[in-house]
Every structure is written in C-alpha cells, then in structure tokens.
C-alpha cells in the first residue's frame, strides 16, 4: 500500500465522518488511491469504551478497527462519490476478519493504521451514486493484518424521515417496561466498567443464550450524537457481549481470554427505542482456536439484525518475534 506520505498529526474534520466529539474521530489523513482512498488512522490507547476490556494480553478492540472502517466509508461516500453532506447513511452490512492479532497488542506508543479503502460496487439512482460496497485492507507498518467489507446507502434527510414515519406508523410503540435493570456482571462480558455492559436478564437453554439489550442513549461511545434509532455501534457491542457470554455459559470459555477475530453482520430493520430488544445466540462446537457464535437481534419476534462472530483464545496468539516492531511512532 502506497501510504508513506499519510499524516498522523491531526484528525480529519469531524463532519466528514459524522462524529460530534473530536475524541471519537480516529482518521487523521486521506489521499486518492486508484478508484478509492488511502486513509490514515490512529487507535486510542485510553478510551472509556474501546479500551475497557479485561482481555489478557491487553489488545486494541477489534470493534475500534470496525469503527475506523465505518468512518472510512462515510469519508469515501462524501469525498469519492459526492454524497451530500446532509445525507442520512443507512448501514446494510459489515464484516471484519483479523488475519493477525499481534498488531492489536497495545504497546508504548499509539498504533498507526493505513487503510486501503476501495469501492467494489457503486449503486446509482437518477445518475447519482446512492450507495456502495467497500473493501478494505488494514495495515500496520506496511503489514496487512485485517480485511473488511462495508455496504450502505444514503438518501436525503427528507426521504429518510418519510421512510421512518411510515415504518413507525405500522408498529405499536406504546412505551413499556421490559427490563429488570439487572445488567450482567462486568466480568461475564469481558468489561471493566458497568457502564459499558449492554446485556441484562440473560438466560441459557442448552447451546442457546438470550439476553435483553440495554439501550443507554446517554452513552458517549455508543451514541456520539442524537439518533432516532438504535445505533449500529450498540448492535455490534450487544452481539459481541452476547457471543462472549454464550461461549462462557455453554463451553466455560472465560471472556477475558477471548477476542473477536471475525464478524459478519447484516442490518435488516431499524431498531426502535420503544421496543424491547433481545439478542439470541447459538453456540457452535469449540475448535482448535475458539468458537463460532451465530446471533439474531429481534424486537417482538421481528429480526432487525443477524451476526456471526468468531472468538479465539488469546492464549493461542503467537508472540512477536524478537526485535519485531508492531506499532508505529
């Protein structure tokens, strides 16, 4: 990847990645590369959400890599495909595969990523781009360690609001109590802070686990700015915590010893704040390195998203060779 001239000294404008808080902007630079972009990003070493994990050894969260790719997608939509700045983005699908976990180890200096971000397919309406499928290759110090794919559409705010009003009119959105408030203990989902636990009232039956999703709209990491629906970031986290808890319940695998090395998620419906949200998991057999967990997120028996998460044991990670540099200055 020809990314040697990318800069890491400041962030890109937050409007280009649809973030309110500067601390939530991880992209630092970008350049045209072929039909796509070469993008620079710096991972946070101290973050109340992304760095609140009990994993051993201490690793950067794979979901922060997914957030970097999400920000790359919005940036590319605006800068490459001329999506209007006021567009509403609709996330349809996302996947991430970590090929090598060693670059995720948190070292003495911030890790610098270079992302080769290319449009694989562009959808058009009325002669203008209206969506795209993007492929990404993520590298540290010139070595690729992760690959991702994102698919989404965009539309005017007016069109989005009209679609939302029509969809909500078909639902019973009468406010109702649906949680006991008993969030899972932090250690059961690999978290240190109770604020970052998003599962409650979980039950296990055989190889299946169901947990209620806690929607905290005041959470600064999961809701960086006001939304009219459950955020994709919360869905990712609920899937991850459900997978960790399910692996622990069914196979006795400690969450602190597991890390997500693959994920594939599809978003089928908009998640409504007023409806109870459950995450249902089916746990596969334990393999040499970990376990595969398939999940559905439902609201009153309507599936709003599906996911497949691969978890690997951190004890299986290869130690870096002597003298190997895994982080950039």
Q: What pLDDT band is residue 268 in, cutting at 50, 70 and 90?
A: very high
Q: Are residues 220 and 82 in the same domain?
A: no
- Domain hosting 246: range is 172-316
Q: What pLDDT band is residue 286 in, cutting at 50, 70 and 90?
A: very high
Q: Which tokens in the block code for residue 69?
A: 């790719």
Q: What pLDDT band is residue 173 in, cutting at 50, 70 and 90?
A: confident
280 located within any domain: yes
What are all long-range contacts of 108-111, with beta carbons under 8 Å and residues at least 24 apart? 108/327, 109/327, 109/328, 109/329, 110/42, 110/43, 110/44, 110/45, 110/327, 110/328, 111/42, 111/43, 111/60, 111/140, 111/326, 111/327, 111/328
pLDDT digits (tens, 9 = 90+) for 36-84: 999 999 999 999 999 999 987 789 999 999 999 999 999 999 999 999 9
251 located within any domain: yes
Q: What pLDDT band is residue 324 in, cutting at 50, 70 and 90?
A: very low
Asked whether residue 179 carries a pLDDT value surpassing 70, the answer given is no
4 located within any domain: no
CB atoms closer than 10 angstroms to residue 166? 9
155-160 mean pLDDT:
94
Q: What pLDDT band is residue 219 in, cutting at 50, 70 and 90?
A: very high
Tell me 90's DSSP state.
E
Q: Are residues 182 and 259 in the same domain?
A: yes
Q: Are residues 104 and 177 in the same domain?
A: no
**Taking a C-beta distance cutoff of 8 angstroms, is the pair 199, 241 a contact?**
yes
151-171 mean pLDDT:
94
Q: Which of 161, 190, 212 is the last residue of a domain?
A: 161
Give the CATH number of the domain where residue 44 resides: 3.10.129.10
Total of domains in the chain: 2
103-114 mean pLDDT:
93
183-191 mean pLDDT:
95
170-177 mean pLDDT:
80
Q: How many CA atoms lie within 13 A of 96 on its CB side?
A: 24
Asked whether residue 237 carries a pLDDT value surpassing 90, the answer given is yes
Alpha-carbon distance 3 to 18, whole Å?
Answer: 24
Q: Are residues 221 and 279 in the same domain?
A: yes
Q: Are residues 78 and 185 in the same domain?
A: no
Tell me the percentage of the chain whose pLDDT exceeds 90: 82
**Single pTM value for the model:** 0.91
143: three-class secondary structure by DSSP: strand
179-205 mean pLDDT:
91
130 located within any domain: yes
Q: Are residues 141 and 30 in the same domain?
A: yes
Measure CA of the first residue to CA of the last residue in the chain; give whole Å.
Answer: 18
Asked whether residue 322 carries a pLDDT value surpassing 60, the answer given is no
325 located within any domain: no
Q: Are residues 222 and 301 in the same domain?
A: yes
7 located within any domain: no
Asked whether residue 176 carries a pLDDT value surpassing 90, the answer given is no
Asked whether residue 106 carries a pLDDT value surpassing 60, the answer given is yes
pLDDT of 329: 27
Average pLDDT, the chain: 91
pLDDT of 323: 40
Q: Are residues 23 and 143 in the same domain?
A: yes
Q: Are residues 77 and 216 in the same domain?
A: no
pLDDT of 315: 52
Alpha-carbon distance 126 to 129, whole Å?
Answer: 8
- 232-251 vs 62-79: helix crossing angle, rounded to 10: 160
Task: Tell me how many helices (H) and strands (E) the chain has.
Answer: 3, 12
Q: Are residues 18 and 139 in the same domain?
A: yes
To which residue do tokens 């180890």 refer?
105
Q: Are residues 64 and 202 in the same domain?
A: no
């Amino acid at each position: 990847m020809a990314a040697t001239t990318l800069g890491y000294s400041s962030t890109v404008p937050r409007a280009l990645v649809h973030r309110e808080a500067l601390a939530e902007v991880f992209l630092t630079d970008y350049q045209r590369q072929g039909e796509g972009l070469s993008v620079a990003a710096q991972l946070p070493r101290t973050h109340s959400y992304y760095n609140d994990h009990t994993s051993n050894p201490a690793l950067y969260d794979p979901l922060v890599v997914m957030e970097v790719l999400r920000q790359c997608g919005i940036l590319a939509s605006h800068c490459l495909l001329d999506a209007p700045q006021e567009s509403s983005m609709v996330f349809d699908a996302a996947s991430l595969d970590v090929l090598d976990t060693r670059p995720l180890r948190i070292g003495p200096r911030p890790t610098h990523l270079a992302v080769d971000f290319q449009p694989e397919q562009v959808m058009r309406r009325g002669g203008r781009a209206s969506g795209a499928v993007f492929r990404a290759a993520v590298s540290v110090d010139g070595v690729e360690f992760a690959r991702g794919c994102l698919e989404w559409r965009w539309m005017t705010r007016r069109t989005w609001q009209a679609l939302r009003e029509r969809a909500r009119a078909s639902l019973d959105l009468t406010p109702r109590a649906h949680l006991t408030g008993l969030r899972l203990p932090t250690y059961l989902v690999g978290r240190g802070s109770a604020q970052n636990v998003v599962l409650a009232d979980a039950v296990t039956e055989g190889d299946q686990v169901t947990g209620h999703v806690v929607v905290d709209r005041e959470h600064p990491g999961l809701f960086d700015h006001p939304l009219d629906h459950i955020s994709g970031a919360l869905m990712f986290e609920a899937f991850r915590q459900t997978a960790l808890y399910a692996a622990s319940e069914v196979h006795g695998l400690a969450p602190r010893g597991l890390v997500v090395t693959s994920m594939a998620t599809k978003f089928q419906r908009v998640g409504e704040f007023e409806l109870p949200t459950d995450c249902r998991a089916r746990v596969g057999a334990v393999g040499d390195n970990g376990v595969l967990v398939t999940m559905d997120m439902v609201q009153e028996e309507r599936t709003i998203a599906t996911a497949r998460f691969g978890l690997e044991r951190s004890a299986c990670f290869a130690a870096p060779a002597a003298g190997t540099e895994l982080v950039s200055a």
